A and B are shown apart, each in its own frame.
Chain A
Amino acid sequence: MMVRVVVADDQAPFRKAVRTLLAASAGFELVGEATSGEQAVALTSELHPDLVLMDINMDGLGGIAAARAIAATHPGTATILVSTYREDELPGEAQTCGATGYLHKAELGARAISRILRGRE
């Protein structure tokens, strides 16, 4: 089954890297890109992706608040928070916002994503 993904990050280099990564990874399809939490929530309502890769630090509605909104309104969509924080530096709300998991950006890869999604099933 193809995993349909939205990436939300205000940094273009990361979005570009995700685009390249998913294009070359069997089983994933990038269906949308958002540059803010608000856009991520709106795209989720519009596209109903299976997964949102959500940067924690974005202006306006940050990634954690956006993940909370998605968990409340689209429980079928998994959200993986991403950032360059070490896990012990994550804000407490990252654990309670309804996100499926967390990945350090440098560790983002098809296998790591699949592992988190399998844990959700």
Chain B
Amino acid sequence: MACAYGGSIPIAREAGTLDEKRPIADNCRAMNEIEELRASRARVLEAADAERRRTERGLHDGVQQHLVALAVNLQLARQLADSDLDALRALLEELSNDVHEALESVRTLARQVYPPVLLDRGLADALRSAAAEVGAQAEVTTTERFPPEVEAAVYFCCVELPRPGATISVRVEADALVFETSGEPTAAVADRLGALGGALELSEGRVTGRVTLAR
């Protein structure tokens, strides 16, 4: 079975109350498009809030915990400086490891918020790196750079979908950037593409996303 987001919109009950001079089918279509846009806007806000919460948790559970541990150990270091220099040396070693762990937390969080490699080197390298982390494969047949919003949309749609062993393929087709993979797309994925005038199609477990490029 195949379906397309935005392709089939249910008819709203209030549609018949719109401008009577226009054909009722036009009114229905307009009404439904407005409803779909409202719903999409609400989902985008919800997704942004969820992202903020996730970032807050990441800061609290990751970076902050490492910094707290460092602060406690620094209190101890002060204590040891007066009494036990050998123990202080051992503690400083531990502090050095803790700093590395804190830095790793920051790096992980930064990558979740917006992967630096996407910004610096583009879609191909960013997707290969993200796919490798979940045991998937990325086949990107273009090294071209696209507008940041297009690269971000395709990247975040792709990284949300694949499972281990899956393949993500990205290619330029005429005037569109197209990606294909498997997985269960969420409304957030469809909204992200929809905001750029793109579309998402599902067919027999395959997901195809398409963003039209302004050439």
Assembled-state Cα–Cα distance A12/B71 (Å) = 15
Contact for A109 among B76, B94, B98, CB less than 8 A: B76
Contact for B73 among A17, A110, A111, CB less than 8 A: A17
Binds A, one of B62-70, B136-144, B159-167: B62-70
Known A-B contacts A11-B61, A24-B84; A106 and B73 likewise in contact (beta carbons under 8 Å):
no
Query: In whole Å, how far is A110's beta carbon from the nearest beta carbon of chain B?
Result: 6
The number of chain A residues touching the other chain, given as a range, is 20 to 34
Total of A-B residue pairs, C-beta within 8 Å: 59
For chain A residues 76-121, which have a beta carbon within 8 Å of chain B? 84, 105-112
CB of A20 closer than 8 Å to a CB of B: yes
Assembled-state Cα–Cα distance A114/B94 (Å) = 25
Assembled-state Cα–Cα distance A111/B72 (Å) = 12
In the complex, what residues of A have CB within 8 A of residue B78's CB? 109
In the complex, what residues of B have CB within 8 A of residue A18's CB? 72
Assembled-state Cα–Cα distance A17/B77 (Å) = 12
CB of B87 closer than 8 Å to a CB of A: yes
CB of B80 closer than 8 Å to a CB of A: yes
Contact for A105 among B68, B80, B94, CB less than 8 A: B68
Closest to A16 in B: B69
CB of B91 closer than 8 Å to a CB of A: yes
In the complex, what residues of A have CB within 8 A of residue B65's CB? 11-14
Assembled-state Cα–Cα distance A110/B84 (Å) = 15
- Which secondary structure characterizes the binding site on chain B? helix
Interface size on B, residues (CB 8 A): 21
Query: In whole Å, how far is B115's beta carbon from the nearest beta carbon of chain A?
Result: 25
Query: In whole Å, how far is B5's beta carbon from the nearest beta carbon of chain A?
Result: 36
CB of A21 closer than 8 Å to a CB of B: yes
In the complex, what residues of B have CB within 8 A of residue A111's CB? 79
Interface 0/1 of A1-30, CB less than 8 Å to B: 000000000011110111011001100000
Query: In whole Å, how far is B32's beta carbon from the nearest beta carbon of chain A?
Result: 42
In the complex, what residues of B have CB within 8 A of residue A106's CB? 67-68, 71-72
CB of B75 closer than 8 Å to a CB of A: yes
In the complex, what residues of A have CB within 8 A of residue B73's CB? 17, 20-21
Assembled-state Cα–Cα distance A111/B91 (Å) = 18
- Which of A12, A17, A106, A110 lies at the interface centre, i.e. has the most chain B CB atoms within 10 A of its CB? A17
Closest to B64 in A: A84
Are A24's CB and B72's CB within 8 A?
A: no
Are A21's CB and B84's CB within 8 A?
A: no
In the complex, what residues of B have CB within 8 A of residue A108's CB? 71-72, 75
Assembled-state Cα–Cα distance A11/B72 (Å) = 14
Query: In whole Å, how far is A82's beta carbon from the nearest beta carbon of chain B?
Result: 9
In the complex, what residues of A have CB within 8 A of residue B76's CB? 20-21, 24-25, 109
Assembled-state Cα–Cα distance A36/B162 (Å) = 35
**Beyond the given A13-B101, A14-B65, A20-B94, could you list 7 further A-B residue pairs with CB under 8 A, ordered by the A residue number?**
A20-B91, A21-B76, A24-B76, A24-B79, A109-B75, A110-B79, A111-B79
**7 contacting pairs across A/B (C-beta < 8 A):** A17-B72, A20-B94, A25-B79, A105-B72, A108-B75, A109-B75, A109-B78
